[in-house]
Amino acid sequence: MRATPILATALLAALLVGCGNEPAADKAAPAAPGNKQAAAPAPAAQPRSLDDIVAGSQRPVDEKARDRFRHPVETLDFFGLKPDMNVVEIWPGQGWYAAIIAPYVAAKGHYTAAIYPEGDGTGYQPKLNKALKDRIAANPELYGDVTYTTLGKDSYDIAPEASADMVLTFRNVHNWMAGGYADKVFAAMFKALKPGGVLGVVEHRGDPELPQDPTAQNGYVNQDYVIKLAEDAGFQVAGHTEVNANPLDTKDHPRGVWTLPPTYKLGDQDHEKYAQIGESDRMTLKFVKPATTGLASAESE
């Protein structure tokens, strides 16, 4: 029996489907015989947004509870963090910020942790180093190829000279002041940055009406003092934000800044009072290493 035009059309369509007909753009052309054609490289993994990473399961509940005081997305956006940057974080501790920064730059950039010196292997600092390394080693696909360097009183090679796009430090300046080497740390951060690179600093902000204790025994540092440390090292102020400010912090607590959460140095004594205050009032400062001499400072934001 002869196929009608309609039936012939249907048979032709079925034959094409059976043969796996596909659009040419979606199907690679076969290599000619003997032609050793290289396979196309797999597309690079695309970095997730900071919001997605901050909400990720790699961050435990107790860390996420600090977000309302530390504002990680807003803080890192202010510093200008991008996924293709080579970033050095100074003294990341157990990795509160490392769990955000390292995954964000893992696909296209690089994360370096400038950790504590080991010393004799005792004390809290080596324990924090181990906690950070264990955390990262447990999820290498998330954190990428992390580099470890050391920063301490006798070690300032945090990264090769002029290799970093950004150096970040969170609540550490008072420790360097207590150790008597804050100026050397700022010099090391300046050296590690590329011209035009950014230094981001978050620190417990002291009372500007009081003179600065050069050893910062209460953990608070006057904002002008931090700015001077940075400018003496060669940095220029690029901006500041009040995103981590806390006007409830009176800065006159019996055990210094450690009276407040999350440390609660007084234990149960006045616990609710200090819980209501929250974490410390903090400066959030952005500095730049001049790309050329005579670069004008940017206005504060």
Using DSSP, state whether 165 is helix, strand or coil.
Answer: strand
Residue 63 CB: number of other CB atoms within 10 A? 19
Phi, psi of 241 (to 5 degrees): -140, 150
Query: What's the confidence (pLDDT) of residue 46?
Result: 57
* Residues 203/226, Cβ–Cβ less than 8 Å: yes
Query: What's the confidence (pLDDT) of residue 292?
Result: 76
What the chain holds in terms of domains, given with CATH numbers, is 50-245+281-288 (3.40.50.150)
Measure the CA–CA gap between 224 and 143, rounded to whole angstroms. 35
**Whole-Å CA distances, 42 to 26, 45, 46, 100:** 15, 9, 12, 25
Given a cut of 70, the residues of the chain with pLDDT beneath it are 1-47, 293-301
Query: What's the confidence (pLDDT) of residue 294?
Result: 47
Query: What's the confidence (pLDDT) of residue 40?
Result: 45
- Summarize pLDDT for 118-170 with one digit per residue, the tens: 887 778 999 999 999 999 999 999 999 999 999 999 999 999 999 999 999 99
